[in-house]
Chains A and B, each alone.
Chain A
């Protein structure tokens, strides 16, 4: 009798643990996915692989290691020539001034969890700090 009770308690705690940050991560992931589909997938494609030599991939891109840069580029766009996975790209990316801080946090969370090494969401505070200190990309 006690064994199942302990097991049940164990399982409940596991889910309780999950509810804190893992649940929020899932929520950010889903919201971020929707936003990605609306604002990014036209060029970067639904699979994140970009489009021929026109638009760079996000998959395996080193920019994903710098989440502050990702947040700034989403907000302000970028121009000039960049090198992604050994290929040159030089079409400007438009700014997205309409996106809110929470939306950018969800987007950064989505791309970092989907194609970067993150397993947890990027909190809005991190994005707010990043956006205050943006340089030109």
Chain B
């Protein structure tokens, strides 16, 4: 009898340990900070300390589908998803936009979430063209912004900071080479996730991760 009791005790202990570790894991579900990081040394209170500087999205100036000049201020205090496309793209963009609409519908009206779609063909994609595209896609308002601007600036921010492939390539269908990535950015401008915007799997992962990231700011 005593042996049985002991066994039950051990069993209960193991079960409790298992459950708490599971819950513990769940609490720690945090997204990584992606991109190159630099280590800088600085002096605090007379002591030399090492600090890590993460890749962060720099300030920018683009023009949105309303024709307004916008800067990093539009995403201040918000998390956002960035991608790169062009309106005449015959290949992956329509899929990306179809998938992004799902993300948009999921977080529509949430003041903490935005979407920035950058055109990589700004010569063709003027604010008017982008406005028509947004309307035809069924997007109103300013939560999802379609940005155009100086080509070099768009390519630079895309390649170096959002870590996506953005290139002009006459041999590619439509004339541009670009990745189908959706990039998730936190309120500190750090890249917290990269997702394949051409797949349902990638899109669902992004939708789930946005929730995780939003929860980080709730405490």
**A and B assemble together:** yes
* Chain A positions near chain B (C-beta within 8 angstroms): 42-43, 45, 51-55, 91-92, 94
A54 vs B87: C-alpha distance when bound (angstroms): 10
Interface size class of B (residues with CB under 8 A): 10 to 19
Contact yes or no, B95 A42, CB < 8 A = yes
A53 vs B136: C-alpha distance when bound (angstroms): 4
Contact yes or no, A92 B88, CB < 8 A = yes
Contact yes or no, A54 B90, CB < 8 A = no
Contact yes or no, B94 A53, CB < 8 A = no
CB of B3 within 8 Å of the partner chain: no
Contact yes or no, A54 B133, CB < 8 A = yes
Q: A53-B135, A53-B138, A92-B88 are in contact. List 13 more A-B contacts (CB 8 A).
A: A42-B91, A42-B92, A45-B98, A51-B94, A51-B97, A51-B98, A52-B138, A54-B97, A55-B94, A91-B88, A94-B90, A94-B173, A94-B174
Closest to B136 in A: A53
Contact yes or no, A54 B137, CB < 8 A = yes
Q: How far is the CB of B95 from chain A (nearest CB, A)?
A: 6
Closest to B93 in A: A42
Chain B residues numbered 63-120 whose CB sits less than 8 Å from any CB in chain A = 87-88, 90-92, 94-95, 97-98, 101
Interface of B (DSSP majority class): helix
A52 vs B137: C-alpha distance when bound (angstroms): 6
Interface of A (DSSP majority class): loop
Q: How far is the CB of A89 from chain B (nearest CB, A)?
A: 9
Q: How far is the CB of B129 from chain A (nearest CB, A)?
A: 10
Contact yes or no, A43 B90, CB < 8 A = yes
Q: How far is the CB of B150 from chain A (nearest CB, A)?
A: 25
Q: How far is the CB of A35 from chain B (nearest CB, A)?
A: 15
Contact yes or no, B94 A42, CB < 8 A = yes
Residues of B near A45 (CB, < 8 A) are 98
Which 6 interchain pairs have the tightest Cβ spacing? A53-B136, A94-B90, A54-B136, A42-B94, A52-B138, A43-B94
A91 vs B135: C-alpha distance when bound (angstroms): 13
Q: How far is the CB of A85 from chain B (nearest CB, A)?
A: 15
Contact yes or no, A54 B88, CB < 8 A = no
A110 vs B136: C-alpha distance when bound (angstroms): 28
A52 vs B133: C-alpha distance when bound (angstroms): 11
Q: List 24 A-B contacts (CB under 8 A).
A: A42-B92, A42-B94, A42-B95, A43-B90, A43-B94, A45-B98, A51-B97, A51-B137, A52-B136, A52-B137, A52-B138, A53-B136, A53-B137, A53-B138, A54-B94, A54-B97, A54-B133, A54-B136, A54-B137, A91-B87, A91-B88, A91-B136, A92-B88, A94-B90
Residues of A near B97 (CB, < 8 A) are 51, 54
Q: How far is the CB of B88 from chain A (nearest CB, A)?
A: 7
Residues of A near B94 (CB, < 8 A) are 42-43, 51, 54-55
A92 vs B129: C-alpha distance when bound (angstroms): 13
Q: How far is the CB of A50 from chain B (nearest CB, A)?
A: 10
A94 vs B90: C-alpha distance when bound (angstroms): 7
A119 vs B119: C-alpha distance when bound (angstroms): 43
Closest to B135 in A: A53
